[in-house]
Structure 1
Amino acid sequence: MAVAENISARGIRVATEHVWSVGSIVLLTSPELGIHSEARVVYCQRVEKQKYAVGLELVSPGKEWSKPN
């Protein structure tokens, strides 16, 4: 599980407690928005002892992603 920190039309930056492998494909889901999409991991940086910032590029951009209020 991860928490979205920054969302754009082409990708998402998430915060997580786990290392993700660059190049792997992951499935993003948003129960609040009722959408899902595949994304490619483009970077995984450690930002704290047990926290990582992961950059994800949407494989098939199209549906509108936005952060819930």
Structure 2
Amino acid sequence: MVSAPLLRRAETRIPMRMFVRLSNPDTGTFEIATTIDVSSHGARVVTKNVWQPNQDVFVRSIRGNLHSRARVAHCERYTDDSYTLGLELYSASGDWATPAKLPRRA
């Protein structure tokens, strides 16, 4: 029997708690969730709702300026009333920590 090589992350995740908006592009519904850890290519997020693996979502950091299309890599029960999502980011713009710039008033 041949064993498959273990898959490892290309980069480490940084522990960072922040609010993000997750939205379903098919229905327009959204949820405010909290990150556990982040990287430039993904995040682990605590959510109140079940999201399906391979589901497309839009993610936007509330305080930072990151926004991206993403794929739900996994959804697992976290507590009795919450779940953790593994998100794989596609074509992310901005970053998690840099605050978004507000438009100047005229």
Runs of 4+ in 1 over 2 A off after TM superposition: 61-68
Change (3 A) 1:51 1:67: farther
Whether the aligned pair in 2 keeps the contact of 1:8 and 1:66 (CA below 8 Å) is no
What TM-score, normalized to structure 1? Answer: 0.83
Q: CA RMSD in A?
A: 2.0
1:39 and 2:46 equivalent? no
Larger RCO, structures 1/2 (Cα 8 Å, 6+ apart): 1
Deviation at 1:50, TM superposition (A): 0.7
- Alignment partners' CA distance in 1, 2:92 and 2:59: 12
Change (3 A) 1:61 1:36: closer
Unaligned segments of structure 1, at least 5 residues: none
**In percent, how many aligned pairs have the same letter?**
37
What TM-score, normalized to structure 2? Answer: 0.57
Q: Which has the higher strand share?
A: 1
**Would you say how many aligned residue pairs link Structure 1 and Structure 2?**
68
Corresponding position of 1:60:
91
Whether the aligned pair in 2 keeps the contact of 1:24 and 1:41 (CA below 8 Å) is yes
Deviation at 1:67, TM superposition (A): 8.7
Unaligned segments of structure 2, at least 5 residues: 1-31, 100-106
1:5 and 2:5 equivalent? no
Tell me which amino acid in the other structure corresponds to 1:45: E
- Alignment partners' CA distance in 2, 1:10 and 1:43: 15
